[in-house]
């Protein structure tokens, strides 16, 4: 999807650069008053940075490591991805005083609106600590009766991102925050947990921290790490509704071209067998209109051939939530209330999302005469 970055982004100045580890930096960005509150955010959210790298537009999403309740900084953290265009460019080229094109914050990996003196358990792998530390800081500040525990997996002690900040938090909130580290390749002097994360280590943490099925669980890290944590929690009868997760990896493809579809004389639509179909399949037909509930307001727009739902809404000058535009985040997720849509692939969606009738509107295209989607209000 090609968009004019001047319409979806604001130019933000880098006012500080922090070397977190050998391959990870944080950038503190200045938010101009002219943004009109668009960069107000919740802990756990992310932004998308638009980069011009040798004439190619590259978009990358980065979580906020700062907390709106805890500090005034607006800070994103970037870990070098081997061969990654975005992270390599930012780490090697961006300095204090430079300006970046950045979208307003988005994302649903946030604290629930209501927390009843519950224990909050956090599991982070590598750079997955970025939204996790944001959530921890807000939880400690907003909910004085909650207890937070963190299990943080890294390669070694040298790879701990936010090491000093985590240590300071654990000291300041000694009675409410407990942190355990686990290293896959620790130094000889390390006496704590070591090796790859597995069910035994996760359940051991569960027992040591006296967690129960009522605790809220927050997980962010590589896919294998997250799968191990989720399966371990489910084995302890933790309900899925208490498990919140954010993935940094996705096998998404760009929104175009569209999945091949054929239209019969009586307007019945047939989709490719590999398409991800969401909604009432009995309604497959040539699309005409899209209804979208955005912030409680219902809008109706005409469908445009080969356009995604998000593209149609943006072309109509509406303001649906979105960020990465590539199916690599869940900022544009919406529930299909009526009709049917399809995607080339699942992107970052899970089987649970598909079962719940949810789609990524930057990837999804209508596949029925009328489609109605609802963007949840978070």
pLDDT in tens, 170-212: 999 999 999 999 999 999 999 999 998 999 999 999 999 999 9
Residues 199 and 302 in one domain: no
Residue 111, domain member (yes or no): no
Read off the tokens for 21: 């580890």
Indicate if the pLDDT at residue 265 is higher than 70: no
Residues 270 and 197 in one domain: no
Residue 226, domain member (yes or no): yes
**Structural domains of the chain, count:** 3
Q: Which domain holds residue 302?
A: 261-374
Contacts of 364 (CB under 8 A, 6+ apart): 278, 308, 309, 341, 342, 343
Residues 183 and 234 in one domain: yes
Confidence of residue 106 (pLDDT cuts 50, 70, 90): confident
| The domain boundary residue, chosen from 247, 277, 298 | 247
Contacts of 338 (CB under 8 A, 6+ apart): 279, 280, 291, 370, 371, 372
Residues 193 and 270 in one domain: no
Mean pLDDT of the chain: 89
Residues 133 and 237 in one domain: yes
Phi first, then psi: give them for residue 340, nearest 5 degrees. Answer: -145, 145
Domain CATH code at residue 344 = 3.10.20.30
Residues 24 and 69 in one domain: yes
Phi first, then psi: give them for residue 318, nearest 5 degrees. Answer: -90, 175
| The domain boundary residue, chosen from 72, 102, 132 | 102
Residue 73, domain member (yes or no): yes
Residues 327 and 368 in one domain: yes
CA–chain centroid gap for 13, Å, is 23
Residues 218 and 298 in one domain: no
Residue 255, domain member (yes or no): no
Please give the DSSP secondary-structure letter assigned to residue 347: T
pTM for this entry: 0.80
pLDDT in tens, 272-291: 667 889 998 888 899 999 99
CA–chain centroid gap for 48, Å, is 11
Confidence of residue 270 (pLDDT cuts 50, 70, 90): low
Give percent helix, percent strand, percent coil of the chain, each to the nearest 5: 25, 35, 45
Domain CATH code at residue 164 = 3.40.50.80
What mean pLDDT do residues 50-56 have?
92
Higher pLDDT pick, 106 / 328: 106
Residue 215, domain member (yes or no): yes
Residues 133 and 242 in one domain: yes
pLDDT of residue 349: 84
Residue 109, domain member (yes or no): no
CB atoms within 10 A of CB 301: 17
| The domain boundary residue, chosen from 217, 247, 277 | 247
Residues 164 and 274 in one domain: no
pLDDT of residue 256: 41
Residue 338, domain member (yes or no): yes
Residues 125 and 220 in one domain: yes
Residues 267 and 370 in one domain: yes
Residue 130, domain member (yes or no): yes
């Amino acid at each position: 999807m090609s968009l004019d970055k001047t319409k979806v982004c604001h130019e933000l100045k880098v006012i500080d650069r922090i070397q977190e580890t050998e391959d990870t930096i944080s950038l503190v960005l200045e938010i101009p008053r002219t943004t009109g509150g668009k960069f107000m955010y919740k802990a756990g959210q992310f932004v998308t940075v638009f980069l011009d790298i040798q004439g190619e537009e590259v978009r990358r999403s980065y979580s906020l490591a700062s907390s709106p309740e805890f500090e005034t900084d607006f800070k994103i953290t970037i870990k070098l991805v081997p061969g990654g265009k975005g992270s390599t460019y930012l780490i090697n080229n961006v300095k204090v005083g430079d300006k970046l094109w950045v979208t307003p914050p988005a994302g649903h990996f946030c604290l629930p609106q209501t927390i009843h003196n519950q224990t909050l358990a956090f599991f982070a792998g590598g750079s997955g600590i970025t939204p996790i530390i944001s959530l921890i800081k807000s939880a400690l500040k907003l909910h004085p009766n909650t207890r937070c525990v963190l299990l943080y997996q890294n390669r070694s002690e040298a790879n701990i991102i936010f090491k000093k900040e985590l240590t300071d938090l654990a000291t300041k909130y000694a009675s409410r925050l407990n942190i355990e580290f686990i290293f896959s390749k620790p130094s000889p002097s390390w006496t704590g947990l070591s090796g790859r994360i597995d069910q035994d280590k996760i359940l051991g943490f569960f027992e040591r921290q006296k967690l129960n099925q009522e605790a809220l669980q927050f997980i962010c890290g590589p896919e294998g790490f997250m799968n191990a944590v989720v399966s371990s929690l489910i084995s302890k009868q933790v309900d899925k509704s208490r498990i919140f997760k954010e993935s940094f990896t996705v096998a998404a493809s760009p929104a175009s071209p569209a999945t091949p579809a054929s239209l019969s004389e009586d307007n019945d639509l047939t989709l490719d067998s590999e398409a991800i179909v969401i909604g009432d399949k009995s309604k497959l037909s040539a699309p005409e209109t899209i209804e979208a509930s955005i912030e409680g307001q219902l809008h109706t727009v005409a469908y445009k051939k080969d356009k995604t739902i998000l593209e149609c809404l943006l072309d109509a000058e509406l303001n649906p939530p979105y960020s990465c535009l590539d199916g690599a985040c869940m900022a544009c997720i919406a529930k299909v209330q009526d009709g049917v849509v399809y995607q080339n692939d699942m992107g970052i969606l899970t089987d649970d999302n598909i079962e719940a009738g949810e789609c990524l509107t930057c990837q999804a295209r209508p596949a029925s005469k009328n489609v109605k989607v609802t963007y949840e209000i978070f």
